[in-house]
Amino acid sequence: MNFLEAIILGLIQGLTEFLPVSSSGHLELGKYLFGIDHEANFYFSIAVHGATVLSTLAALHKEIWDLLKGAFRFRLNEETVYILKLIVSMIPVAIAGLFLKEIAERFFTGNMISLGFEFLVSALFLLMTLWIRPKERPISYRDSFIIGLAQVLAILPGISRSGATIATGMMLGNRKADIAKFSFLMVLVPIIGANLVELRSGDFSREGTSLAVIAAGFVTAFVSGYIACRWMISIVRKGNLLWFAVYVGLAGIFTLLLGLNVF
């Protein structure tokens, strides 16, 4: 991997982690187009995922600080309830991480046909928000768990985590002003946990990827991720995800055609 590839992949990761188009899917597609080894460059993948965690902390630092201050008052206040809902939302993906990890890894092998169908599933999720529009209400514990179930689907590379969780929240009737922030906050612990597990496993290589190249991808992912996070919160407030659905649908068709060797 060279500098240009690292910057492009970092940009893809930063933008698509928060926009509802699937960061993992776009990284898989990018690696396929650049001919990058799917088994190697794990350090790079961990670095750019870590960068988007930091960009979330930077973009939502005020909200996170308010939650922590409220939690450390050690009483059942609004902030503590919100944190409990975040914890509830993490239960499904924690279970999936324990029991479905090996199954999920089979989809990260550069199979463009599988990836294309997954992109189309993401597009369907986004389109459904145009048809299902219940009356808005706050996020409940039940909603938190259902949104967490939607996040489990995103263990597949072509299904957007933010797309699945935000779309599910909108279809449940959760307030648009709340659901994007909730979606971005609920993934912080699972991503950090997954990265720590990968680092401890030792089943990766930095072969052919210098620290400078990794740093270039990290910085690009952080900056683009920060911008995308703030932008996506603004978009969700307006409640129209149509153009993202169109884009992901076209990406799915393109990826399927790649897999069928049409190009």
Secondary structure of the chain in the HEC alphabet?
Answer: CCHHHHHHHHHHHHHHHHCCCCHHHHHHHHHHHHCCCCCCCHHHHHHHHHHHHHHHHHHCHHHHHHHHHHHCCCCCCHHHHHHHHHHHHHHHHHHHHHHCHHHHHCCCCCCHHHHHHHHHHHHHHHHHHHHCCCCCECCCHHHHHHHHHHHHHCCCCCCCHHHHHHHHHHHHCECHHHHHHHHHHHCHHHHHHHHHHHHHHCCCCCCCCCHHHHHHHHHHHHHHHHHHHHHHHHHHHHCCCHHHHHHHHHHHHHHHHHHCCCC
Structure confidence at residue 17 (pLDDT): 84
* Amino acid symbol at 174: N
CA 207, 29, 13, 194 dihedral sign is: negative
Rounded Cα distance between 104 and 253, Å, is: 22
pLDDT on residue 41: 62
Tell me how far apart the 2 most distant CA atoms of the chain are, in Å.
60
pLDDT digits (tens, 9 = 90+) for 54-100: 999 999 999 999 999 998 988 889 999 999 999 999 999 888 877 77
Domain parsing of the chain, residue ranges = 3-259
Digits of tens for pLDDT over the chain (263 positions)?
788 888 988 898 898 888 899 888 888 888 788 777 655 566 777 788 889 989 999 999 999 999 999 989 888 899 999 999 999 999 998 888 777 766 666 666 778 999 999 999 999 999 999 999 899 999 999 999 999 999 998 888 889 889 999 999 999 999 988 999 999 999 888 878 766 766 665 554 545 567 888 899 999 999 999 999 999 988 888 878 899 999 999 999 999 999 888 76
Cα(148)–Cα(205) distance, integer angstroms: 31
pLDDT for the residue 198 = 65
